[in-house]
Structure 1
Amino acid sequence: MNIEQCLEQGLLVKAKAELEKAKSSIEMARHKLELAEAEFDHGLFESAVISSYASMFHSARALLFKDGFKERSHFAVYVYVNEEYSARLERKYLNEFNSLRLQRHELMYGLERNAEVQESSADTTIKMAKGFLEAVKKMLQENNSKRKKTI
């Protein structure tokens, strides 16, 4: 599936670009990352993975707000960021974002209890979420600098 198909199916909706919403989404990403770190410190590794994904989701969502899109599914957020930003984001972040999207879904909605989330896995997801957040923040700052130069 691509962005055009997501638009046709209503999974993405064109909207006006909203930089304030992008900033709010970054703040939420930061909050979810802090939550993941606290959960990790308390040995709640499954919760830390879910919060790490939430941080990545809100980081990615900031890019959609900046570009004038609203999402109607987590999958559509991944499709959009993968298609529009694959040249500017390290592949490891895009792969981890999609992998965590699927893992979070299984952890939250699956009917079978899978093997427990290991400490090392939770630690890796937190590091990925942190790197992804920083990469997105950098892109938003670069975009903001370019806008100021053209005004």
Structure 2
Amino acid sequence: MRIDECVAQGLLKKMSPDKGMAMNSVRAAEHKLGIAKREMQAKIYENAVISAYTSMFHAARAILYRDGFKERSHYAISVYLKEKYGEKIEKRFVYTLDTLRSERHEIMYGLNEPLEISAEEAKDAILTAADFVEAVKKMI
């Protein structure tokens, strides 16, 4: 899928660029990252992964706000980043955002065998989220 298809399907909506909303989203990303770290310390690995994803989601959304887009779909954020910033941000960020989005969905809504999230996986998610938030702060 492409950005124009996401717009046509209502998954992304054009708006006026809004640096204030972008900065609010960065603050939300930092807040969720702090929660993820506390959940990691408490050995609540599933929640740590969800919070790491949410941190990345808010950071990515900051880019969209800055560029004049609003998301209506978590999936569309990855589409936007791949197409618009594929050569400008590290590929691991988009890959991890997509992977954590799927894991979050499975943890929260899945009816299959529960995912077992290891301490190492939660730690990696948090470290990548922290790196992504810092990269986004430099872009905004």
Output aligned runs, 1:50-129, within 5 Å. Answer: 50-129=50-129
Aligned partner of 1:136 in structure 2 is 136
Superposed CA offset, 1:30-55 (max 9, x none):
00000000000000000000000000
- Residues 1:2 and 2:11 aligned together: no
* Counterpart Cα distance in 2 of 1:7 and 1:116: 36
| Matched-pair identity in % | 46
Larger Rg belongs to: 1
The structure with higher relative contact order (CA 8 Å, sep 6+) is: 2
Structure 1 CA distance, aligned partners of 2:115 and 2:50? 15
* Deviation at residue 112 of structure 1 after TM alignment: 2.1
CA shift, 1:94, in A, is 1.0
Calculate the TM-score normalised by the size of structure 2.
0.98
Structure 1: which amino acid aligns with 2:19?
Answer: L
> Which amino acid in the other structure matches residue 133 of structure 1?
V
Bigger mean CA deviation after superposition, 44-53 or 89-98: 89-98
Tell me by how many angstroms 1:80 deviates. 0.6
- Tell me which moved more, 42-51 or 79-88: 79-88
| Structure 1 residue 135 displacement after superposition | 0.7
**Structure 1 partner of 2:14:** 14
TM-score by length of 1: 0.91
After TM superposition, where is structure 1 displaced by more than 3 Å over at least 4 residues in a row?
none
Q: Deviations over 1:79-110 (max 9, x none)?
A: 11111111111111111111111111111110
Aligned residues: 140
CA–CA distance in structure 1, aligned partners of residues 99 and 115 of structure 2: 16
Q: Distance in 1 between matches of 2:61 and 2:42?
A: 28
The 2-side partners of 1:99 and 1:115 are apart by 13
Report how far residue 114 of structure 1 moved.
Answer: 2.4
Residue in structure 1 matched with residue 42 of structure 2 by the alignment: 42
Work out whether residues 36 and 51 of structure 2, in 8 Å CA contact, stay in contact via their aligned partners in 1.
yes
Who is 1:148 aligned against? none
